[in-house]
Amino acid sequence: MAATSEQTLKLWENKVTAKVKVAGDGPALVYLHSGYGLVWDDSLDLLAKDFTVYAPEHPGTSAGDPDSIKPLDDVWDLVLYYYELFDKLGLEAPAVVGHSFGGMVAAEIAANNPRRVSRLALINPLGLWRDDTPIKNYMVTPQADLDKLTFADPHNPARKHVAMNLEDPDSIIRITWALGCTGKFIWPIPDKGLRKRAHRIAAPTLIIWGKQDGLTKPIYADEFKSLIPNARIAMVDNAAHMTPLEQPAVVAKLLREFLKH
């Protein structure tokens, strides 16, 4: 694993504490995690060879700091909060990569102020809704069903990072609270108007999607591509919704090629 350090920043009039894991060397890459909280997976290790990876923890999800979620109420607050975070980290226009919930946030950051994002990569992002392909509410789906929807191989050992272990109260608390804090911005339907703002995204955009995704089905890849002016799709086989956990090497390679050229 790459050597990671942690930066603690005070933002939003000192009302929110941001914890950011940092690793590697090279151009800045901001990575926004899924609804399950930050998992430093192998794809981030691989990316840290070529980039300085900044992986902030969504407010409220950092260990010992559940209250940092309170001052931020909606997507508008959250997007402005991230511009403050970029400022504090000295990042004018980093590459931004987001997975699932983090993908929605990344797209919003790029749409609201296109000048703050140089390149955008969305991995199985949330944020759009089609009535003909509704997205299952993963916050209330039993784990066994979720394993089938979100992993191409439901027995993939990497599921331990995002599946609650009923024998381990701390894992239940950590994951439940992460889902609650991220859920604040997507409940009850993960569509907060990105569709009408996505045309503003100016950054070249790569849409990465697990072919077997049963949660946000691949038709959503086409939907994102149709709305973002300069976007292309890369489908990843043997991956469902947890693509970075399922195919870390493939994801890292796709991102490296996209971000370096």
Partner 1 sequence: MKISMFHLMPYRDLPADFEQKYQSVWVDPPFWELADPAKVGQYYNWTLDELIYAAKSGMDGICVNEHHQNAYGFMPSPNLMGSVLARATNGMNCAVVQMGATLPTTNPPIRVAEEYAMLDTISGGRLVAGMPLGTPMDANLCYGVTPIEHRERYYEAHDLILKAWQSRETFAWNGKYFKLPMVNLWPRPIQQPHPPVWVPGAGSLSTWDFAAKHDHCYCFLSYYGNKLGKRVMDGFWEFVDKSKLDPNPYRAGFLQLVVVADSDAQAERDYYPHIRYFYDKSLHILNEYQMIPGNQDYRSLSNSVKNLLPMQLDLMNSVKNWKYKDFVDNQFVIAGSPATVRDQLMEAVKKLRVGNLMVLLHIGSMPHELTLKNIDLFSREVLPHFRNVWDEDGWDNKWWPTALRGKTNAENIGRAPRPEMHAGK
Stretch that binds partner 1, among 39-47, 120-128, 179-187, 216-224 (CB under 8 A): 179-187
Total number of residues binding partner 1 (CB under 8 A)?
23
CA–CA distances in Å: residue 47 to residues 153, 162, 193: 24, 21, 31
Residues 92-121 as b or e (16 or more Cβ within 10 Å = b):
ebbbbbbbbbbbbbbbbbbbbbeebbbbbb
- Phi/psi at 137 (5° precision): -75, 95
As beta bridge partners, residue 98 has 32, 122
> What is the C-alpha separation between 95 and 167, in angstroms, rounded?
39
Among 7, 176, 226, 230, binds partner 1 (CB under 8 A): 176
- Position 140 contacts partner 1 (CB under 8 A): yes
Please say which residue, 168 or 257, places its beta carbon nearer to partner 1.
168
- Position 63 contacts partner 1 (CB under 8 A): no
Which residue from 128, 119, 120 is spatially nearest to 221, judged by alpha carbons?
A: 128
Q: Which of residues 73-112 bind partner 1 (CB under 8 A)?
A: 73
- Position 144 contacts partner 1 (CB under 8 A): no
Q: What is the DSSP string of 79-147?
A: HHHHHHHHHHHT-SS-EEEEETHHHHHHHHHHHH-GGG-SEEEEES------TTSPPP-GGGS-HHHHH
Q: What is the DSSP string of 62-93?
A: STT-GGGGTT--SHHHHHHHHHHHHHHHT-SS
Axis crossing angle, helix 101-112 with helix 75-89, rounded to the nearest 10 = 80
Stretch that binds partner 1, among 11-19, 26-34, 169-177, 214-222 (CB under 8 A): 169-177
- Position 67 contacts partner 1 (CB under 8 A): yes
- Position 179 contacts partner 1 (CB under 8 A): yes
Stretch that binds partner 1, among 174-182, 196-204, 219-227, 251-259 (CB under 8 A): 174-182
Least distance between partner 1 and beta carbon 170 (Å): 9
Please say which residue, 28 or 175, places its beta carbon nearer to partner 1.
175
Among 26, 27, 114, 180, binds partner 1 (CB under 8 A): 180
Stretch that binds partner 1, among 24-32, 64-72, 122-130, 155-163 (CB under 8 A): 64-72
- Position 172 contacts partner 1 (CB under 8 A): yes
> What is the C-alpha separation between 107 and 132, in angstroms, rounded?
23
Stretch that binds partner 1, among 6-14, 67-75, 122-130, 214-222 (CB under 8 A): 67-75
Residues binding partner 1 (CB under 8 A)? 66-67, 69, 73, 137, 139-142, 169, 172-173, 175-181, 183-184, 187-188
